[in-house]
Amino acid sequence: MLPVGSIERRTNGWYGMLTVIMTEGALFAYLLFSYYYFAVQYGREWLPPQLPEFWFSVPNTILLLASSAALWFAERGVRRGIRRDLVWGLAIAIGLAVIYVVLQAIEWSGRPFTMSSTPYGSLYFSISGLHFVHLAIGLIILVVLLIWSLLNYFDARRYAAVSIGAVYWYFVTAVWLAVFFTIYITPRLG
Amino acid sequence: MSSIAYERSAALETAGYDSPATSKLEQLWKTKPGLFGWLGTVDHKQLGKRYLITAFCFLIAGGIEALVMRLQLARPNQHLLTPEQYNELFSMHGITMIFLYAQPVLSGFSVFLFPLFLGTRDLAFPRLNSFSYYVYLFAGLFLYASFLVGAVPNDGWFNYPPNALKLYNPGPNIDFYALGMILLGISTTVGAANFLVTWLRLRAPGMSINRLPILTWSTTTTSVGILFSVPAVSLAFLMLWLDRQFGTHFFDPAGRGQPLLWQHLFWMFAHPWVYIVVLPAMGFVSEALPIFCRRPLVGYTVVVLATVATMVMGFGVWLHHMFATGLPFLALSFFSGASMVIVIPSAVAVFAWVATIWTGRPVVTTALLFFAGFIAMFVIGGVSGFMTAAVPSDRQMTDTYFVVAHIHYVLIGINLFPVMGALYVWFPKMTGRLLDERIGRWNFWLVFIGLNVAFLPMHWTGLAGMPRRIYTYPDGLGWNTVNMLTTIGAFILAIGVLVLLINIAVSRARGALAGPNPWDGPTLEWTTPSPPPSYNFAVIPAVASQNPLWEGRLQEGLGHSSVGRGLVLDQGKEVLATTPLDAEPDAILKMPQDSLAPLVVAIALTGLFAGLLVAWWWLAGLCAVVTLASLVVWLWPEPALGQIAVAAND
Amino acid sequence: MGKSRTRLLSRAPLIAAGALFAPATAHANAPMNYLQSFGPKAHEIANLTWALLILSILVVAIISALVVVGAMRRRVLPPDREVRLEPISRGSGSGVLWIYIGVGLSTLALLGAMVWTGYTMAVIQRPPRAPKLTVEIIGHQWWWQVRYLSGDSSRVFDTANEIHIPVGEPVQFKVRTEDVIHSFWVPPLGDKIDLIPSQTNVTWLEVGEPGTYRGQCAEFCGQQHAHMALLAVADKPDDFQRWWDDQLKPAVSAPQAALGETLFTVRCGACHTVRGTRAGGRLGPDLTHVMSRQTIAAATLPNKIAYLSGWISDPQRIKPGNLMPTLDISGPELEQIRGFLAGLK
């Protein structure tokens, strides 16, 4: 007996998403390389007079980690056939992500520099901006998954799309951790 | 709507290509009729042929650009072209050949051949395959649209700032390049993902990791290389476009940007890229040379390891393009050493091929001539590259015609030669007819002579100090004769390519019928009719060795592959998924029907980039919305694909 | 066959190649070739390059021979070709021995090359003695600004497109650019170094014998990259000092050139400097001693009256796109300006 169609993670889509993570991960690696290149070339003087602070970035980090946890809960729910867990987990993940978006927008609007002020500004906004684009696409994915869940497309054996969306979201969270470390922590390290 | 059961037991059956089972398969798999089918087909064989045809069109375009340049350079101080025209031509020649011909032609072969090599019926993502082709075509047209507005990219394919920034290049020339390349990168990336997942998942049962056709190793290795290297150049072009359009300061010195950052990002992509455009071609040779030497490839395992090693090491040598930029001694030493060490895996491949010839019984066909010639051209290109790995010598040779000689030996010798040889081998499989052998000899010798007349003396041109990328040169520097020779050789080469095109045209109509296995080859693609039916295999074969069709005759005590008996999988468009290492059956996957979604998304995406090019932000925004919406439609779960839970919808 | 004769025969290909190369490599025939060298740095590099070149030719010859002989000797001849030839088994695995031996020998050759390369890199890394002279090269689209540095600020001066250096001592070059990336390169004397915006790169050259050596920009820098060359003139030390002293002197123009000087200042002075006159423009080359140079327009044209006239009256015809505009200079004006320039020796 062979499984037929989209069963658990045996789909091509699952592997396809892993390749997406490989290539988009490489993109962020090159972005952060560019940041560090400037930092090495210019030293302390390339940083803005006021270093990026934790008021928004720490809550945002917590929000993303929490939304990933909610998503993990959702995926576990669908694997056990508990639709309620799936729907609520997705909804909470989406809600938390929306708060993240709002906080990020406020943080950006409060910046004294723009992307065309200095090289730092260019890199700050391109890194956080590209991360934001990836997150926004992830948010659309989560909303679509929620709709599909409400339409009863998924059950304990057919839930590949949920796994695929979830692993993308975990990737977005992991990238945020790397971005957070680079932009908010490294300037304060010696 | 009837939903798909979660499991099924599938029985082995015996079926030939003319049995009743196959007419059902034909109905299931064949492309829909009319315009809808032509635009929306997901048949990898049709898409593969489109890739090849499009790539050859770009080869011709790039070739014409080269011939015009060679007319300008045949003699000193000529005025056939203005400097701006020459700079546009050499830039587009490089861009066309490196991005629009060299990698897509290899993709085209793989798109057609992968499923046939692996014993399956399609690539992992059939609609993505179609999307990948359309975006390639549209990106190429996007780049060439620059000719229509007289603003062709003019700063070389390497496009260094500050010359590429708005201050020195105010027109849209570089914007065409930057946005066109990001768009093309999307096509290349999704194509690579398609190959990787297919290779991991869709094989004939029993085709374990050590039984995979070696061409699939090359293509998959370069697919991984693409996934990790393309983002570097896409990012670089995005940053460049932002510098040009929005005044960011990534590269502009006036704003404290770093021009060298461009070089790092660009070469971190472009060096792996040069292996991406040759490793699959080397795979053609590893795959087909053994057929014409009547023995399996010598050293399959070490050649596979060498292929992977070359790609991996290819990520660690990029600085050798920057030896003259004033880098620290330690960096120079490391990258010089690494650039020499990377020669070793290539040597493994060369000796494997030489050994295959020496211990085999060579059958001299046009294909063999191309493969044998390729080995010599490979070595010439390889040694000239090795010479440039030595920093002190490179700092004389870099940016001279020595490097131009090197790159043309590696690109023509290691890409075009195997491509031509591969055409002679697999054209019969694709079309059912053999290419004419007599015309083939003319094809080979003209190309061989043309290449060597044009580019062998060019090593001397470089050693005599002629810099690259100059639209003219003065008399009295010793460059006159060699330039004239190169021009003559280039035209001979062009005639050779023309002869190939003639061969294709003539043989398409009147070539000898090929049958399934005209060369008595050993791998699975030779079991299907030529051309293969829409469903490739009547039953999914099972393999027990590297060379299934030679098993019985090699007397090596190998297993018994099963070609005429296997899973039929005719309850819809179905393929078998297997485990990556041992290729054990893992699932039955449902494949999509023809669809226009890929075309719609490709058009929307191109519209997005066009909007960015002309700064019509409303157009870009609209197209972005259409792209996202179409993607959601494309990915919407379908019952026929087994993507929807059973209970809810019965 | 005697041992010496065998050796001669086996070396025949190399001798033939050398014979072909020798006249071609003559500096007079190919002034920018770098297989011939005229200074210690270039010597070391040329030796390494020759060694790698000979090794490469050998490798190509051997592998090509293997391919051709291999394909010929066991090839299937016509009558059998029509018959389906059975595939041959892998046999005892002797094929793999080819790979081990071939790769082993290649690795040895590679190691030798790496060692020689490392040695050469170390030797050319810095000059053998501290340079007494530093010359600054500033790249522009499409000409070379040359500034002679000195501890004594009264001995610092600018010239363009032609460098003079003393024979027999290392000279330090500090290179930078005012606009895009260029590359400073005089092949007979040494390797190239890029001119990168926002940074100053440093290199050194030393010449062994007097002579005039041609260099050219070696990094694509826009429309007239093809016409951005320079001359490096190696003088005996006394001649070099005399040249430097002459270059320091301001222009002395004869009374009959007064009108020419005025016209020059008005038409050309916005871009060009002639010390000793009121022409002080900094956009184009310093012309104070322009007639002391062998070429004009960045070594594009010989510095002779006819070429000079053609250049001044229509620079866009000779270097289209370059930053010297084609002004509407009348015949009489041109004659006056030429007369003035002729005095700037």
What percent of chain B has a predicted confidence (pLDDT) above 90? 92
Beta carbons of A7 and B6 less than 8 Å apart = yes
Q: Running DSSP on this structure, what letter comes out for residue C270? A: T
Judged by a CB distance cut-off of 8 A, whether residue B7 touches chain A is yes
The DSSP bridge pattern shows strands C295-296 and C301-302 to be antiparallel
Give me the mean pLDDT over the B453-473 stretch. Answer: 97
Report the SS3 class of residue A2: strand
CA C117 – CA C108 distance, rounded (Å): 14
φ, ψ at B439 (rounded to 5°): -60, -35
pLDDT at C17: 54
- B408's torsion region: left (phi>0), alpha (psi -120 to 50) or beta? alpha
CA B603 – CA B615 distance, rounded (Å): 18
Judged by a CB distance cut-off of 8 A, whether residue C196 touches chain B is yes
CA B428 – CA C334 distance, rounded (Å): 72
The answer to whether residues C209 and C168 touch, using CB atoms and an 8 Å cutoff, is no
All residues of chain A having their beta carbon less than 8 Å from the beta carbon of residue B628 are 137, 140
pLDDT at C92: 63
**pLDDT tens for each residue of B628-641:** 999 999 999 999 99
pLDDT at C2: 38
φ, ψ at B539 (rounded to 5°): -130, 150
In a mutagenesis test of the B interface, which of A19, A35, A145, A175 is the best target, namely the one with the most B β-carbons within 10 Å?
Answer: A19
Contacts of B584 (CB under 8 A, 6+ apart): B205, B578
Across chain C, what does the average pLDDT equal? 90
Residue C22, pLDDT above cutoff 60: no
Higher pLDDT, B397 or C75: B397
CA C98 – CA C104 distance, rounded (Å): 10
Judged by a CB distance cut-off of 8 A, whether residue B585 touches chain A is yes
Q: Is the ipTM reported for this complex over the cut 0.85?
A: yes
Helix ranges restricted to H, A8-158: 12-42, 54-79, 83-109, 119-150
For chain A, the straight-line distance linking the first and the last C-alpha, in angstroms and rounded, comes to: 61
The DSSP bridge pattern shows strands C143-148 and C157-160 to be antiparallel
C-alpha distances in angstroms, C49 versus B385, B453, B461, C36, C82? 13, 23, 15, 10, 50
pLDDT at B278: 97
The answer to whether residues C283 and C270 touch, using CB atoms and an 8 Å cutoff, is yes
pLDDT at B1: 45
CA B594 – CA B30 distance, rounded (Å): 9
Q: Which residue type, as a one-letter code, is found at position A13?
A: G
pLDDT classification of C82: cutoffs 50, 70, 90: low
Below-70 pLDDT ranges, chain A: 190
Residue C46, pLDDT above cutoff 60: yes
The DSSP bridge pattern shows strands C133-140 and C171-177 to be parallel
Helix (H) or strand (E) holding B103: helix B103-118
Residue C9, pLDDT above cutoff 50: no
Residue C7, pLDDT above cutoff 70: no
Beta carbons of B197 and A15 less than 8 Å apart = yes
**pLDDT tens for each residue of B393-448:** 999 999 999 999 999 999 999 999 999 999 999 999 999 999 999 999 999 999 99
Residue-range domains of chain B with CATH: 6-36+528-590 (no CATH), 37-510 (1.20.210.10), 601-649 (no CATH)
CA B444 – CA B455 distance, rounded (Å): 16
pLDDT at C80: 62
CA B528 – CA B238 distance, rounded (Å): 45
Contacts of C179 (CB under 8 A, 6+ apart): B162, B168, C139, C140, C141, C197, C221
The answer to whether residues C124 and C40 touch, using CB atoms and an 8 Å cutoff, is no
Judged by a CB distance cut-off of 8 A, whether residue B68 touches chain C is no
**pLDDT tens for each residue of B219-256:** 999 999 999 999 999 999 999 999 999 999 999 999 99
Q: CA-nearest residue of chain B to C76? A: B363
CA B448 – CA B409 distance, rounded (Å): 11
Structure tokens that stand for B75 in this block: 């003699």
Residue whose entry in the numeric block shows the structure tokens 């090839």: C75
φ, ψ at B566 (rounded to 5°): 180, -165
**pLDDT tens for each residue of C189-199:** 999 999 999 99
Q: How many Cβ atoms sit within 10 Å of the Cβ of residue B34?
A: 9
In a mutagenesis test of the C interface, which of B158, B261, B358, B554 is the best target, namely the one with the most C β-carbons within 10 Å?
Answer: B358
For chain B, the straight-line distance linking the first and the last C-alpha, in angstroms and rounded, comes to: 8
The answer to whether residues B10 and B574 touch, using CB atoms and an 8 Å cutoff, is no
Residue-range domains of chain C with CATH: 17-63+96-125 (no CATH), 133-246 (2.60.40.420), 255-342 (2.60.40.420)
Give me the mean pLDDT over the C216-222 stretch. Answer: 97
pLDDT at B6: 87
CA A45 – CA B272 distance, rounded (Å): 34
Angle at B188 between CA B186 and CA B193, to 5 degrees: 95
Q: CA-nearest residue of chain C to B369? A: C71
CA B219 – CA B214 distance, rounded (Å): 9
Residue B87, pLDDT above cutoff 50: yes
Give me the mean pLDDT over the C214-224 stretch. Answer: 97
CA A95 – CA A90 distance, rounded (Å): 9
Angle at B79 between CA B75 and CA B84, to 5 degrees: 115
Judged by a CB distance cut-off of 8 A, whether residue B331 touches chain A is no
All residues of chain C having their beta carbon less than 8 Å from the beta carbon of residue B329 are 121, 125
What percent of chain C has a predicted confidence (pLDDT) above 90? 81
Distance from the A53 Cα atom to the nearest Cα atom in chain B, whole angstroms: 23
Structure tokens that stand for B621 in this block: 């925004």
Q: Which residue type, as a one-letter code, is found at position B623?
A: C
Cα radius of gyration (chain B) = 25
The answer to whether residues C329 and C311 touch, using CB atoms and an 8 Å cutoff, is no
Structure tokens that stand for C237 in this block: 């030390």
Beta carbons of C49 and B387 less than 8 Å apart = yes
The answer to whether residues C144 and C229 touch, using CB atoms and an 8 Å cutoff, is no
Find the CB nearest A3 among B124, B587, B637: B587
Across chain B, what does the average pLDDT equal? 95
Beta carbons of C66 and B354 less than 8 Å apart = yes
Q: Give per-residue burial for C280-300: e unless 16+ CB within 10 Å, then b.
A: eeeebbbbbbbeebebbbbbb
Give me the mean pLDDT over the C108-136 stretch. Answer: 96
Structure tokens that stand for C102 in this block: 């071939």
Helix (H) or strand (E) holding C24: helix C3-25
Report the SS3 class of residue B553: helix
Burial status of residue C103 (CB atoms within 10 A of its CB: 0-12, 13-18, 19 or more) = buried
pLDDT at B650: 42
CA C142 – CA C144 distance, rounded (Å): 7
Residue B649, pLDDT above cutoff 80: no
Q: Running DSSP on this structure, what letter comes out for residue B156? A: T
Q: Give per-residue burial for A27-60: e unless 16+ CB within 10 Å, then b.
A: bbbbbbebbebbbeeeeeebbeeeebeeebbeeb
Find the CB nearest B249 among A16, A119, A144: A119
**pLDDT tens for each residue of B356-404:** 999 999 999 999 999 999 999 999 999 999 999 999 999 999 999 999 9
CA C184 – CA C194 distance, rounded (Å): 6
In a mutagenesis test of the A interface, which of B202, B644, B650 is the best target, namely the one with the most A β-carbons within 10 Å?
Answer: B644
Residue C8, pLDDT above cutoff 60: no
Residue whose entry in the numeric block shows the structure tokens 């050469």: C120
Beta carbons of B589 and A154 less than 8 Å apart = no
Residues in B 175-204 with any Cβ partner in C closer than 8 A? none
Residue from B521, B546, B569, B526 nearest B208 by CA: B546
The DSSP bridge pattern shows strands C133-140 and C143-148 to be antiparallel
CA atoms within 13 Å, Cβ hemisphere of B479: 25
Judged by a CB distance cut-off of 8 A, whether residue B649 touches chain A is yes
**pLDDT tens for each residue of B495-530:** 999 999 999 999 999 999 999 999 999 999 999 999
Residue C5, pLDDT above cutoff 50: no
What percent of chain B has a predicted confidence (pLDDT) above 70? 99
B531 prior amide bond cis, ω within 30: yes
C-alpha distances in angstroms, A27 versus A23, B77, B265? 6, 45, 11
Judged by a CB distance cut-off of 8 A, whether residue B456 touches chain C is no
- C262's torsion region: left (phi>0), alpha (psi -120 to 50) or beta? alpha
Q: CA-nearest residue of chain B to C33? A: B464
**pLDDT tens for each residue of A86-107:** 999 999 999 999 999 999 999 9
The model's pTM: 0.95
Find the CB nearest B246 among A6, A31, A116: A116
pLDDT at C26: 73
